[in-house]
Amino acid sequence: MERRRPPEPDPADDPEAGTGSFDWTSELSLEQPRSHPSMGEAEPYPARAEDAPRGRRGGGSRRRGGRAGSADGEERRRPQRRISSETVSRILWAVPWVVFAIFVIAAGDAVFAVAMIAVGWALLVEYFRMTARARPFQLVGFAAAAAMVAAAYLGDSFQILLVAVAFFPVMLAFAIARPTLHNVTWAMAVTVFGVVWIGVPLAHAVLLRDIPEHGGALLVDVLVCTFFTDTFAYVGGRMFGQHPLAPTVSPNKTIEGLVIGIAGGVFGFWLAGLYQDWLSGADALLMGLCIAILAPMGDLFESAIKRDLDVKDTGRMLGPHGGLLDRLDAVLFTVVAGYYLALAIVV
């Protein structure tokens, strides 16, 4: 039997129909699917249930007796954010670096200073690679960061300031020596920013390590607190995160993860302080709270820079988990705070 085609709708019966021909391109969405975001943390939010096709909401497909729907419902009842194997992988990647940190901290003196110079150069390589379009003065930046670390080892914070002051005329001389002054302002600004962001904190790490009697232990406490804050925030955010913390900077970070991370960081510093009779519980809690608050700020600071530069990871030094700067972004904030907190509370 021949099937009869339904009659064509009369435009006059449709109050929303316009006069003239029907423009399919104006009515149908021709937008292409969004590509994967370039930022590693800028993952798109999960689609809402009400945006899903009707047959795939809670009830499932009628043809399959609701079995697909029951499976989907069971899946939705599970936690949305599960701890994946990435957590274990991150810990495994961290093990050799923890061993390296323990070795250089225990050695101290010139070994630790040389290690900080090497770490600073590795961080600046990643930073200058991200900002290559500005044509920064890389040689000046490397020399300034190394000089700051050496000044911290041989002197104190005042010598670091002297190096910073001497750094400007040297950079100006390099700027004048360039064949063209095109974008030289951006080149100088990017260079200064990198030296301050990376060189100054590593110099303070040397100052913290060289505090008499307790410097090495305090540096370990700061690193433990920073590591606990980052780990607890990651796990807590994956398990309980519901409210975005800074959607424009890092959409995957949540307020719940921040709170859990701060609590974990305070616990980590307090736990480390249990084995140090010269550090009271109240002092450990106070230092842990300050450092645990600054750690996510360092993380968000680097995330904002990467988002502005449209960069996913700062490098590949740590394999699939990004560059060294991705892992030490919080430490660059916490070692500076740890040094001055130690001077105010412990020394």
* Percent of the chain clearing pLDDT 90 (strictly above): 52
Would you state the pLDDT for residue 21? 40
Burial class (CB in 10 A: 0-12, 13-18, 19+), 319: exposed
Q: What is the DSSP letter of 80?
A: S
Q: In Å, how far are 122, 192, 291 from 308, measured between CA atoms? A: 21, 18, 26
Would you state the pLDDT for residue 17? 43
pLDDT, tens digit, for every residue of 201-217? Answer: 999 999 999 999 899 99
Q: What is the DSSP letter of 57?
A: S
Looking at residues 224-228, what average pLDDT do you find?
Answer: 93
Query: Higher model confidence: residue 313 or residue 129?
Result: 129
pLDDT category of residue 4 using cuts at 50, 70 and 90: low
Looking at residues 259-284, what average pLDDT do you find?
Answer: 91
Read off the tokens for 255: 């307020």
Query: How many CB atoms sit inside 10 A of residue 236's CB?
Result: 21
Maximum alpha-carbon separation in the chain:
98
Would you state the pLDDT for residue 273? 83
Which of 2-11, 45-54, 74-83, 96-105 shows the lowest per-residue confidence on average (mean pLDDT)? 45-54
Q: Residue 224: pLDDT above 50?
A: yes
Read off the tokens for 231: 């780990």
Looking at residues 70-75, what average pLDDT do you find?
Answer: 48
The residues spanned by each domain of the chain are: 108-210, 217-347
Q: Tell me the range of 22-26, 71-75, 97-101, 259-263 where mean pLDDT is highest.
A: 259-263
pLDDT category of residue 84 using cuts at 50, 70 and 90: low
Strand, coil or helix: 218: helix
Looking at residues 167-192, what average pLDDT do you find?
Answer: 92
pLDDT, tens digit, for every residue of 248-270? Answer: 998 889 999 999 999 999 999 99
Would you state the pLDDT for residue 90? 67
Q: Residue 20: pLDDT above 80?
A: no
Burial class (CB in 10 A: 0-12, 13-18, 19+), 253: buried
Query: How many CB atoms sit inside 10 A of residue 5's CB?
Result: 6
Would you state the pLDDT for residue 129? 94
The overall average pLDDT reported for the chain is: 79
> Distance from first CA to last CA of the chain, Å, rounded?
97
* 64/35 Cα distance (integer angstroms): 33
pLDDT category of residue 8 using cuts at 50, 70 and 90: low
Would you state the pLDDT for residue 51? 41
Q: In Å, how far are 5, 20, 27, 30, 241 from 24, measured between CA atoms? A: 21, 13, 5, 10, 42
Would you state the pLDDT for residue 181? 84
List 250's β-bridge partners, or say none.
246
Residue spans of beta strands (DSSP E) within the chain: 244-246, 250-254
pLDDT, tens digit, for every residue of 288-324? Answer: 999 999 999 999 999 999 999 988 888 888 766 678 9
Would you state the pLDDT for residue 143? 96
Q: Give the strand pairing for 244-246 and 250-254.
A: antiparallel
Would you state the pLDDT for residue 203? 97
For 276, residues 6+ apart whose C-beta sits below 8 A from its C-beta are 214, 217, 221
Give the residue among 307, 122, 297, 123 at the shortest CA–CA distance from 197: 123
Q: Residue 36: pLDDT above 60?
A: no
Q: Quote the pTM value.
A: 0.73
Looking up tokens 């709270």 gives 289
